[in-house]
Structures are given as C-alpha cells and as structure tokens.
Amino acid sequence: MRADNIQLPLIPIINELIINNPNTISLGQGVVFYPPPDETFKEIDKFAGNPQNNLYQSINGINKLLEEIETKLAQDNQINYSQNRSSIFVTAGSNMAFMNAVLAITNPEDEIIILAPYYFNHEMAIRLANCKPIIVDTNNQYQPDIDQIINAITPKTKAIVTISPNNPTGVVYSKKDLLAINIICKEKGIYHISDEAYEYFTYNGIKHYSPASFVDSDNHTISLFSLSKAYGFASWRIGYMVIPKHLEMAVKKIQDTILICPPVISQYGAYGALKIGKNYCQKYLLEINKVREKMLDSLAKISNICEVSKSDGAFYLFLKIKSDMNSFELTKKLIENYRVAVIPGTTFGVENKCCLRVAYGALNYDTASIGINRLVEGLSQLIEV
C-alpha cells in the first residue's frame, strides 16, 4: 500500500515515552512558548458575528487575509506580488502547502531533491505522492553543497527544496547559496520550493532571504509560509503559499479536493495576527535567544563528545554525538534515565551518525536550563570518550 513506504511519525512515539516517564522535560517538539496576539481573538469575535462565515468560502482564502498577505510579502520578504505572474493560496499549515506543491508539479516516479538532514514531513509527502526523494547531503556546516545538488539533477527532477532558517539544524542559508540554487532551477526548468516557516527567527544579525525576491524568479519559485511558529498558531493550521501563475489551476483542483477551503475561523485569526505583524514575534526573540545562548554555553562543556550546529536561526540545535550508539536508543535512555527528551537524527535522515535535534522555543529560561543540564549530564554519563 501507498503508506507502507512512509516512515512512522516519531514525535508521537517520543511523546508517549514522555508520558510514560513523568516529569520529563521536552526539548523535542518545535513550538513556541507564547500564545497568539490578542488581535487574533478580536477577529474571532467578528467571525462569530457573521452567519455567512459558517459556509464554504473561496478556495484561495478570504479576500482581506489575501490582501494582508500581499502587503506582508512586500514589506517583510521583498516579494513584489503581481496577480498576473503569481497566485497566493491560504492553506491548512505549510505542510499542506508543500503537499499541494508536490502534487501540482509531479507525476508518479518523479524526483524531488531535499537536503539532509531534512524535515521529515517533506520526505513523507514526497513518498506519499508516489515520487522519489533524492537526498543530498549538506556540508559539514549543514550548508548547501551546490556541486552535489547539481550532480543529483536528472531528467526526472522536478524541484529542489530549501528550508531556511532550517529545521532541524537551525542554520540560515546565505543569499549567495539560495540565489545559486534558484538560478540552477531556472536553467534546468525545475522549481525551487522554499520553506520559510522560521523566517523571523534569526540571531546575531543574520538575515533571512526569500528566493522569490530574486529577479526573474517568480515563474519557477514556490514559497511556503506559516503562522504556526511566529504567531503561536500551531494548532490553528494556517499557512500560505505563493506560486507561479501557471500552477494556479492545478493547486485549485488539489485544494478543492482535499480541503474545499481553508478554515475560515482560523483565517480570521490569521488576519488579526498579520495586522500586528512581525514585531509580535520579534519581541519574544530576546527571551528565546537567551535560552539559546544558555544551551550553547552548556553544550560547550561537553565539546569532547558533542559537536553543535552553528545555529543562527529557527529554534533548533543539531548535535553530532561522538558515539556509535543508535540515536533512537540514546534518546530513549535520555528520557528513561535522565527525564529529558530530544528527537533522534534518524528522523531527519541521518542514519550513519549519532545525532540529536534539540528544540528550545517552547520553554521558559528556568525550565530550559533544567532540561539542558539534564541533557549534558546524560550525555556525559552515557557516552564513552
């Protein structure tokens, strides 16, 4: 069956281990600690006041949200949206946007290039579409290896996927590399799928770049965005995608089949959030960065057994452990014996090395400090140098 070749979602398995081991601190799932802005709930009140909102709405999304997204794209991403060249679709999260994109541009057995360590839901979506993920390793700093990407392209290649700021490594891709990948896609007649769910989460003065802002990129660039992280919207399931105009009808067919229309109540909430804008997220970045720096300082004490990714974005650290232990077994031991949870690297396609992803966006400083201390203690005692 179609689903037989798809990996099991590991986060629910980790969550079950956490439940079975009370008082475990989770450094696993990638969510933020703060709630949506108050304006979100004010818009929900407006939703409730109009009975027509209980009916199906536009496949693309409600007009006022689409207009707010267009303004945001220009201000925050330098994407000069034009209805003649591109289309915006509101989706049930950016995972759905990615699935829409894959289904719109591929036939069964086509190939899509993803960079390892990869975001597991991307790999799962590609396989679910009966396509083949072509996994290309990043360099030793988890940055794109342009030569390897070029060498991986075949006549069956339909797209190259980038995630920046990156999940699971936390690295931010340079403008130079993103531009190089975008030009490759244009020259090869394939698509650049750019996942930008963590666009506002950058540190140390590092800047995020949107590939769709590059000159002459709109005909081959698919941009994916999410409110889940920046606005504390994880369960609201609202994202959006910007696609070349020629893909509009394909995505309409797919979205109408799967969803009919994006959840209107969540769209009202999203409109309220986007009206406030990126400052809402950025006011929390100082606190998140404080936790990040605490984690980096603590992990530096065990640099003899643990290499840490140069994380200037998102809210993840990717640890390469100097051990032959299976990363899931190590994760299990950390939960059962030290009451701290992380995500094993095997989830992200790293099979031949012992790696762990640590998430730091969901906890306050004090709780995160306890969690990282437990992690450092556990690794120190479990790993033989």
d(CA 323, CA 364): 30
- What's at 122, amino acid-wise? H
**Which residues are registered as beta bridge partners of 157?**
111
Radius of gyration of the chain (CA): 21
> Residue 201 in contact with residue 32, Cβ under 8 Å?
no
Burial of 339-370, coded b for 16+ CB within 10 Å and e otherwise, reads bbbbbbbbbbbbeeebbbbbbbbbbeeeebbe
Range name among 3-7, 30-34, 150-154 with the lowest pLDDT average: 3-7
Q: What is the CATH number of domain 38-276?
A: 3.40.640.10
The pLDDT tens digits of the residues spanning 158-204 come to 999 999 999 999 999 999 999 999 999 999 999 999 999 999 999 99
**pTM, rounded to two decimals:** 0.96
CATH topology of domain 2-30+279-382: Aspartate Aminotransferase, domain 1 (3.90.1150)
d(CA 77, CA 208): 9
Backbone φ and ψ for 145, nearest 5 degrees, come out as -100, 100
> Residue 62 in contact with residue 267, Cβ under 8 Å?
yes
The pLDDT tens digits of the residues spanning 219-251 come to 999 999 999 999 999 999 999 999 999 999 999
Residue 74: the pLDDT is 97
Residue for token pair 């330098």: 78
SS3 289: helix
The pLDDT tens digits of the residues spanning 311-368 come to 999 999 999 999 999 999 999 999 999 999 999 999 999 988 999 999 999 999 999 9
Angle subtended at Cα 234 by Cα 231 and Cα 199, rounded to the nearest 5 degrees: 50
The pLDDT tens digits of the residues spanning 201-214 come to 999 999 999 999 99
- Domains of the chain, by residue range, sit at 2-30+279-382, 38-276
Residue for token pair 């794109």: 144
Pairing of strands 221-226, 239-244: antiparallel
Residue 385: the pLDDT is 63
